[in-house]
Amino acid sequence: MLQLMMLKLITFSSLFPSAVRPNAGLFVRERMGRVAQRIPLVVVAPQAWFPFQGIIRWFRPHFRPMAVRYEQMGALEIFRPYYLSVPGILKDFDGLSMALCSYRTVRRLQRQTGASVLDVHFGYPDGYAGSLLARWLGLKFVVTFRGNEDRTSRTSRRKHLMRCASSADLLIGVSEQLRALGESLGAPSERTCVVGNGVDLSKFRPIPRGEARAALGLPADVPLLITVGGLVERKGFHRVIEVLPKLIARHPGLRYLVVGGGSPEGDNSAELRAQVERLALQDRVVFCGPVAPERLHVYYSAANVFALATRFEGWANVFLEAMACGLPVVTTLVGGNAQVVCDARLGLLVPFGEPAELEAALDQALQRAWDAAYLRTYAENNAWDSRIELLVRHFHAVSAGNPSLTSPHA
């Protein structure tokens, strides 16, 4: 019992919010900020650095904005060591570089706090770096696969993912698909589990549609689609824009809200705007830019249908956010999407890369009467509270060296 009471964590994730990237890794902060109310922890968020990256910013002004090395965010302390990462090349060495350059920070925090568990997010480079740090420092090692691992497993970095998976005391997938991927990479089944992301019901709540549209200056009587996310190819904003002309023919007045901006993955906003101009949709597509999480519920509440024509997701938080505001989801049958949109009363799933099927699903969703109360109830059943209880139990089990307390189907 004494060991359980003294449990302390070091959370390790290169994707974590900062003043210069406030929306980066919000899902990590949402989860671990709540865990911190039960288990003391500090955050190490390594930052990629290259001696000449200032020159790159002459051409790409938003390339690798550097956050302060130490920041306090509420009760969380965040430390940001730099690690050498050459832009565009030598990616197989990023994990080792991250581990070497973070070693002193993690060792110091381990000694100061008495932390016994390293909680790492993403398989590469973070997970591989975490597996090395845990071995060097004698820490228990927990890694969460969040969505980029499937693509990484098909590259030369697969060997690093295998090292990460096989050495983890516990591998958490945010979806069953990612848990199974971890097992296929060498994680023993009894040391894997699923813990999906949750939703903050106090932030994501419905308001009357008319009120929301008035607040945003939108017409009160037109059908409205919305997508929220980073403006990158993977998210598929361009796939929704592609089918808008045919949808508009059947739904006069249709508008599409594009909510988001560039992300660490990139920024396709110029390409999206060019596509909109090419299709003469300037009066139909509204680029809203990045929106603070506290304001997103207004945008969700204004819309009729949430669309995400994504190429891959682990567990997309935006689905639960939309449902918490009473909004049905149309998305692609990839990654963990079917685990979230698991009921026909929640939305529609379509094969990836099939524009005609995407168009048909959006058309059907816009015509259908959805049960907003049912959608809200589903979101309530997936609130953060139940997730955190499960995570705390898992961390205690790992710290106690008792994997029998974890469940592969939790």
The domain that holds 42 is classified in CATH as 3.40.50.2000
- Give the chain's mean pLDDT: 92
Structure confidence at residue 76 (pLDDT) = 94
Are 8 and 67 in a shared domain? Answer: yes
| Strand, helix or coil for residue 179 | helix
Q: From CA 42, how far away is CA 110, in angstroms rounded?
A: 10
Give the pLDDT band of residue 263 (cuts 50, 70, 90): confident
pTM equals 0.87
* pLDDT at residue 408 tops 50: no
Are 90 and 214 in a shared domain? Answer: no
Measured between alpha carbons, how far is residue 236 from residues 21, 264, 268 in Å? 22, 16, 10
Residue 359 dihedral angles phi and psi, to the nearest 5°? -60, -45
Q: Is residue 225 part of a domain?
A: yes
Q: From CA 395, how far away is CA 156, in angstroms rounded?
A: 31
Give the pLDDT band of residue 63 (cuts 50, 70, 90): confident
Q: Is residue 204 part of a domain?
A: no
Q: Tell me the CB-side half-sphere exposure of residue 350, using CA atoms within 13 A.
A: 24
Q: From CA 162, how far away is CA 166, in angstroms rounded?
A: 6
Q: Is the N-terminal amide bond of 328 cis, ω within 30° of 0?
A: no
Measured between alpha carbons, how far is residue 195 from residues 166, 174, 175, 186, 406 in Å? 19, 5, 7, 19, 11
Contact 16, 47 (CB under 8 A): no
Are 346 and 362 in a shared domain? Answer: yes
- Residue range 375-382: mean pLDDT, rounded: 95
Are 6 and 22 in a shared domain? Answer: yes
Are 164 and 275 in a shared domain? Answer: no
Q: Is residue 350 part of a domain?
A: yes
Q: Is residue 410 part of a domain?
A: no
Q: How many domains in the chain? A: 2
Give the pLDDT band of residue 403 (cuts 50, 70, 90): low
* pLDDT at residue 57 tops 80: no
Are 255 and 108 in a shared domain? Answer: no
Q: From CA 148, how far away is CA 167, in angstroms rounded?
A: 19
Residue 37's identity, in one-letter code, is: Q
CA proximity to 319, closest of 290, 295, 339:
339
Residue 286 dihedral angles phi and psi, to the nearest 5°? -110, 115
Q: Is residue 117 part of a domain?
A: yes
Are 176 and 220 in a shared domain? Answer: no
Q: Is residue 39 part of a domain?
A: yes
Contact 117, 9 (CB under 8 A): yes
Q: Is residue 373 part of a domain?
A: yes
Residues spanned by the domain of 291: 209-380
Q: Is residue 314 part of a domain?
A: yes
Contact 319, 340 (CB under 8 A): yes
Residue 183's identity, in one-letter code, is: E
Are 392 and 278 in a shared domain? Answer: no
Place of tokens 């060495």: 93
Residue 157's identity, in one-letter code, is: R
Are 97 and 59 in a shared domain? Answer: yes
* pLDDT at residue 409 tops 50: no
Are 74 and 145 in a shared domain? Answer: yes
CA proximity to 235, closest of 284, 268, 274, 200:
268
* pLDDT at residue 3 tops 50: no
CA proximity to 25, closest of 394, 379, 381, 314:
314
Measured between alpha carbons, how far is residue 188 from residues 79, 125, 171, 193, 268 in Å? 32, 21, 9, 10, 39
Q: For 279-327, what is each residue's pLDDT tens digit?
A: 999 999 999 999 998 999 999 999 999 999 999 887 888 999 999 999 9
Are 180 and 215 in a shared domain? Answer: no
Are 349 and 389 in a shared domain? Answer: no
Pairing, β 70-73 against β 76-79: antiparallel
